[in-house]
Amino acid sequence: MASQLVREWAGIQQFPVATQTALHRLLGKLKQESVDTLTILVLGKGGVGKSSTVNSIVGERVAIVSAFQSEAMRPLICSRSRAGFTLNIIDTPGLIEGGFVNDHALDLIKRFLINKTIDILLYVDRLDGYRVDDLDMQVTKAISKSFGQQIWRRGLVVLTHAQLSPPDELRYADFVDRRSAILQAVVRKAAGFKKSETQIPVVLVENSGRCNTNSGGEKVLSDGTVWLPYLVEKIVEVATNGSKPILIDKKLIEGPDANQWGKRWIPLFLAFQYFFIVKPIRRGIQKDIQREKSERPAWEIYDETGDKTIFFKRG
């Protein structure tokens, strides 16, 4: 991260005063835990609002969003500094193309992340997706395979387009609970979590400029939640939950080096070869030599100096 250009986090001053106060309090909590740098990786399918969420967190338009190109075509890192704290947030291309995992995009992301440490994973989807299908399982499994299941222990599920009106027969809270539970189940399966382990947090987000606001000008959801400070609060909780950040190195991306794995067995193989092949062959040769000597006529035996010793039979 050292080579990345770090700018002053000016966007934080664009938030309403109450939001600024909440964010400074949360950043102070991180510093109390000796966390002065936080790197957030944003992953998910295309068109779910990853780039818009990045812009909302930073308070600046750092990722391009339009009606015709909703996200970055390649990974993009934004670094901002404020009061001795540095935020790195990584926007990424969508992981699905043509109904399948986009291996090209995934490879671009993996190469981009080499030697970077990820503190937080934001897995982004839409609240108004209504259904979970095989694509969701494909994506979550691809993330686990690419970056290791442990990355989910540093993860949150972020559901965008949260300012919606659910179907008539459901209350907003019930709809959110159902949608969250289904996605949590998919993620838990991909992450290999045990039943006894806690659920991955789910946070609702509404990036639209038409999002409702409270009297202080803060963006709020249908239930009155001021969502941006709440999102950052959950990020802080995960960052300080005791799990280890994920270092994305070649070993994690490519798996163990087969050659290195094989080298571990060389000493054992040589020992096996010596004790079970070489030594038995050597003993066999020595026995053959001794047997051959014992079966020779006396007049063919040489003494140790190489002189021939001849024995005569008495008549």
In the annotated binding site for GTP, the residues are: 47-52, 66-71, 161, 206-207
Question: Which residue ranges make up the annotated binding site for Mg(2+)?
Answer: 51, 69
Looking at residue 29, what DSSP letter applies? H
- What's the rounded Cα separation, in Å, for the pair 142 and 235? 23
- What's the rounded Cα separation, in Å, for the pair 75 and 127? 24
| Cβ atoms of 76 and 63 closer than 8 Å | yes
State how far the alpha carbon of 270 is from the alpha carbons of 97, 232, 258, 284, in Å. 50, 57, 19, 20
Beta strands in the chain (DSSP E): 7-8, 37-44, 76-82, 85-91, 96-97, 100-101, 116-118, 120-126, 155-160, 202-204, 246-248
Provide the CA 239 distance to its chain's centre, in angstroms: 14
Tell me which residue has tokens 């982004």: 124
Question: Which residue ranges make up the annotated binding site?
Answer: 47-52, 66-71, 161, 206-207
